[in-house]
Amino acid sequence: MTFSKDALAGRVAIITGGGSGIGFGIAKAFASASAKLVLASRNEERLQGAVEEITEMGGEAIAVQADVRDYDSVARVVQTAVETYGGVDVMIANAAGNFVVPAADMSPNAWKTVIDIDLNGTFYCARAAYPALKESEFGGRFIAISTTRALEGWPGCAHAGAAKAGIMSLIRTLTGEWGKDGIRCNTIAPGAIGDTEGVKRIYEDAGRKANELSSIPLGEFGKTTDIANAAVFLCSDAGAYVAGADLVVDGGRNRGRASPIVSVPGK
Ligand code: NAP
Ligand code: COA
């Protein structure tokens, strides 16, 4: 299923971590819906590959190297977008880092690194993009990619769970402060999305894949297109009245965790 070719026509979108996984999935869907793209992350070579793929499919995109832990670096991404395309209508804070380590073994720097990328990086994206988003003729959109695991305990990922929960709180505050400027702030909370670095690290390499799969009522991992479709919806005119939401896209895991049907003796 795809949206109409002009669903995001005229919009300029920045996507951090837009060169891989979920971020690249969003980039391709946005290009198909006619948005102009600015992809930002640390690995310039990978970003250039993503830009080439988008150009080959008829889209328009540029790459800007940036580390979201550095506010000036994020501000340069926004400045480049404004200089290249004339403004910014959408900022998607998707960049993140995560790895499995029990809290008792987690070094202070391991904790700080993930908080810096996920939570501080998301605030820097919001703060740097605000003046441009405020000027958007479509009503600016700020989207942070969270996770359903932020809503529960997340053994092995204390740093990422706390960061993503902080992001959810931040979105609620920004919704209250920036609604008057026409800026719609939302999170998308994915469940486990297949063929991504996230699922590889957190479920496959950690030996938790079968367990995780069995807890998903729809019985399979999601696809990057599932998250991309949610993002196109929120950033199109169809999503104009959605603000302060956590759009959960997880095959039902969070609300209806699957469990085997137990047969009751005598019935
Ligand atoms: P991924 O491909 O590894 O995406 C992470 C991206 O963030 C990469 O493109 C990486 O690019 C960028 N990045 C990391 N550190 C950065 C930094 N300091 N500055 C700038 N960019 C940085 O993994 P993914 O699984 O698609 O994850 C994407 C998002 O979805 C994350 O927010 C993640 O928490 C969320 N999520 C994923 C799942 C899942 O099942 N995969 C589930 C829930 C939520 P560079 O290496 O080039 O910097
Ligand atoms: N287990 C325990 N600690 C770990 C770790 C692991 N698997 N990986 C990194 N760390 C620790 C390091 O030991 C270091 O702490 P120390 O100084 O006390 O030794 C700290 O975390 C920072 O690691 P470093 O490798 O210097 O960070 P970086 O800035 O180069 O990279 C990461 C950031 C660690 C988040 C890296 O995994 C990354 O770039 N991730 C992006 C992709 C990703 O995570 N995708 C999934 C998204 S859900």
Q: What is the 3-state secondary structure (H, E, C) of 166-219?
A: HHHHHHHHHHHHHHHHCCEEEEEEECCECCCHHHHHHHHCCCCHHHHHHCCCCC
- Whole-number Å distance, alpha carbon 114 to ligand 2 midpoint, is 8
Task: Out of 41, 91, 151, 208, give the residue to mutate to test ligand 1, the one with the largest number of ligand atoms within 8 Å of its CB.
Answer: 41
Supply the pLDDT for residue 213.
Answer: 96
Nearest CA to ligand 2 atom 21: 110
Q: For the segment 123-152, what is each residue's pLDDT rounded down to a tens digit?
A: 999 999 999 999 999 999 999 999 999 989
Atom of ligand 1 nearest to the CA of 16: 21
Which amino acid does the sequence have at 23? G
Q: For the segment 48-66, what is each residue's pLDDT rounded down to a tens digit?
A: 999 999 999 999 999 999 9
Q: Nearest bound ligand to CA 77?
A: 1
Atom of ligand 2 nearest to the CA of 196: 46
- Alpha-helical segments (H) within the chain: 21-32, 44-56, 71-85, 108-114, 121-134, 158-178, 197-199, 209-214, 224-235
Tokens found for residue 139: 């009503």
Whether pLDDT at 263 is above 60? no
Nearest CA to ligand 2 atom 46: 198
* Phi and psi at residue 116, to the nearest 5°: -65, -45
Query: Distance between CA 40 and CA 132 in Å, rounded?
Result: 17
Average pLDDT, the chain: 96
Q: For the segment 80-103, what is each residue's pLDDT rounded down to a tens digit?
A: 999 999 999 999 999 999 999 999
Supply the pLDDT for residue 256.
Answer: 83
Atom of ligand 1 nearest to the CA of 196: 25
Supply the pLDDT for residue 55.
Answer: 98
Q: What is the mean pLDDT of residues 104-132?
A: 99
Which residues approach ligand 2 with their CB closer than 6 A? 96-99, 101, 107, 109-110, 113-114, 197-198, 201
- Whole-number Å distance, alpha carbon 45 to ligand 1 midpoint, is 16
Which amino acid does the sequence have at 231? A
**Global confidence as pTM:** 0.97
* Residues, the chain: 267
| Closest to 29 measured CA to CA, from 251, 261, 227, 263 | 227
Q: How far apart are the first and last CA of the chain?
A: 43
